[in-house]
Structure 1
């Protein structure tokens, strides 16, 4: 099967679509990627790339990546993000269409992280490439715009909803990363079929490595958060919990390995704010070591006593399962979920750890304290339960086979409709 993957973000940026492409290729698909110039998460174009350049490069694994001009995100402010999003839409629809004008594909597969606008050039390309169109919806619009605070005007949100409806209905198939997404997408998708297809775990996570860890954690009860440090991750809640735990431990004679230490691994729009807050509050139990590559994360997770996922409180976040949940489950460590809804449900259903309400620092402190007080055997049992759940629901090879089935169904249905029109003509 010839697959064109359209994704504004791609290698060397760290997104789950990178490994999905590798898995598709290993399963026998011929994959080509259309993307922008890498600049996430710091908003600066990576070394070796230029914002206004366009052309084709060859991935080290041997397949082609077509790059189009793109305005970098900058510091994540509204105008910079708008320019970033729209420049990719324009670049992919114009430069991308020109670069791929002689290519033919069976299916165009859009990795639908925000903004959903990146499906627009794929809609244009489906005609010239003569392909079916499948979008993997990772974020709900316009709801996410409202939650992040970038758009508050009701009229604008209504217009965005109309645009999303138009985009959805020009797909042959829509895949939803969360079961809770399905009903919301169906309300806008018309006759376009909607199917639940979760994010797979990272292929490297859970694998044993003999390499020296890129980061060595301090002797303590180590709680590790990994991923984007942005506006919806409820980072204030984590700092509030850390401050409370640090305050409660003052004056007590604690062994170094009995203290709670938070390590926030990653980068994002709020990293500078985090650094300032940690310094202002004097939080000696919080570390911000920066970003590490996916293949370095298993050795970091292996040192953790618990893995933390957190989100802000909102109806849209309740429907979301952050992709880090799959990676955490695969690592075989207990989880703490400071979040509501679908993500918390998965962790409870798996028996993989503890969940507490979103944006509730005291509840997070209680969850950390309970898990810290649990026996090593109990924590190991939670970790094993998480890994078993991962193998059943999120294992990459299994989900790749399922994805190929979805893509093949979309192609067959499109071909069937085309043949039906020919007969009617």
Structure 2
């Protein structure tokens, strides 16, 4: 039994304060299963010129008492934006987490396995190097494809760029040297075959664990953190709920296009969230006289279960991108599953849990008119048909409950052979 599991995630530190998140939830259920997790993250706040704790120490330990798990805050420079300082912040964490891990091991004992998680690949490199030094196995978790996402979403870099070629070689190096690979994308092996790496990276090494929901916490929050809202409590409306950021990249103008096309007076759009595009959209609502759209503002995450569970349909909105062919893993999808209400997803993708569980409707046309037609049809579903979608959504949440996802992670960890001395 590999008891001491060290989790490396540059951006995990927020989870200590949010009392939630992927690795916080893994740690919670690892602890319950008798394991001893430790989470290493940076002391710098993502994209802000601030630190979580003002200290010059290389690392500082704080215990998340509610899950009885130490968080090790590792020194790294602060930064804003996506320029040189952010890159240097990544390098800081890569260097300092290795030093901090050695000091932490001297005080608290060595790990039995290291679970290193991206976003950026230097954390995975640090995990592999530390595992070798400690003589243990390393599981690498890939939550974002670097450098593929840079190539897809940047206008500056192509696959022929020397730096990008170097990053691809580094990515392959990581995949070869990790003892096991966990991807949040179900179609990750499609990516590996597209790169032509299948001879070096066997399918048996690649595992799939998507994001998920802590159903225990979700149901507790739904019961104890109620949102008083007359629109949510109105039995005479079909409530279409969106939760999330309201920024230009989210293209929420499409929701207003849909609202404009809706003729059924019962259908109402309720939008929770905030962002730099909210004022523009609210002005459009006023200028166009849209009476079926209400912006509710931002709420703490603990109130989300109360909101989405009282919707009649929850909206998964997005603009399809090339990387979606490997699968999708937005956190809100799992909250929507837990709500046990039908989902309207306005983009198509491969490896789609909404489609796999028949938990909602997927539009093949990104248009306000198409969304309006489907929503009006959903508002008229017979009770039996509506209930079936609700049941399927909650069934999906059961399969993506972090308790079950942690069991999958443990199966991977415990199946690793001992490293030869």
TM-score interval, normalised by the smaller of the two chains: 0.7 to 0.9
Contact 2:75–2:93 (Cα < 8 Å) also in 1: yes
Shift of 1:183: 2.8
In the alignment, which residue of structure 1 is the partner of 2:115? 109
Which of 161, 164, 168 lines up with 2:168 in the alignment?
161
Which of 288, 307, 312 lines up with 2:314 in the alignment?
307
Which of 39, 55, 67 lines up with 1:33 in the alignment?
39
Contact 1:107–1:133 (Cα < 8 Å) also in 2: yes
In the alignment, which residue of structure 1 is the partner of 2:284? 281
Output the CA distance in 2 between the equivalents of 1:376 and 1:50: 56
Contact 1:107–1:131 (Cα < 8 Å) also in 2: yes
Contact 2:316–2:346 (Cα < 8 Å) also in 1: yes
Output the CA distance in 2 between the equivalents of 1:377 and 1:394: 25
**Range 321-330 or range 77-86, more displaced:** 77-86
In the alignment, which residue of structure 2 is the partner of 1:332? 340
1:235 is the counterpart of 2:250: yes
Shift of 1:226: 3.5
Aligned ranges 1:313-392 → 2 under 5 Å: 313-322=320-329, 323-342=331-350, 345-357=352-364, 359-391=366-398
Superposed CA deviations along residues 105-140 of structure 1, whole A, max 9, x for unmatched, are: 11101233x223321221222133332100122222
Q: CA RMSD in A?
A: 3.0
Seen in structure 2, the aligned counterparts of structure 1 residues 230 and 162 have a Cα distance that, compared at 3 Å, is farther
Output the CA distance in 2 between the equivalents of 1:312 and 1:111: 26
Which of 393, 403, 409 lines up with 1:403 in the alignment?
409
1:66 aligned counterpart, secondary structure: strand
In the alignment, which residue of structure 2 is the partner of 1:222? 239
**Range 177-186 or range 19-28, more displaced:** 177-186
Output the CA distance in 1 between the equivalents of 2:117 and 2:145: 13
Output the CA distance in 1 between the equivalents of 2:24 and 2:102: 22
Seen in structure 2, the aligned counterparts of structure 1 residues 92 and 240 have a Cα distance that, compared at 3 Å, is same
1:69 is the counterpart of 2:75: yes
Shift of 1:84: 4.2
1:4 aligned counterpart, secondary structure: strand
In structure 1, runs of 5+ residues without a counterpart are 420-425
2:177 aligned counterpart, secondary structure: coil
2:6 aligned counterpart, secondary structure: strand
In the alignment, which residue of structure 2 is the partner of 1:136? 141
Shift of 1:188: 4.0
Superposed CA deviations along residues 275-317 of structure 1, whole A, max 9, x for unmatched, are: 2432442366252622523x43221211212122233222212
Contact 2:214–2:402 (Cα < 8 Å) also in 1: yes
1:205 aligned counterpart, secondary structure: helix
Which of 1, 5, 8 lines up with 2:7 in the alignment?
5
For normalisation by structure 2, the TM-score amounts to: 0.82
Shift of 1:73: 5.3
Shift of 1:145: 1.6
Shift of 1:263: 1.5
Shift of 1:181: 1.2
Which of 185, 207, 228 lines up with 1:178 in the alignment?
185
In the alignment, which residue of structure 2 is the partner of 1:422? none
Superposed CA deviations along residues 1-44 of structure 1, whole A, max 9, x for unmatched, are: 1100111122225522211110111111111111112635x746
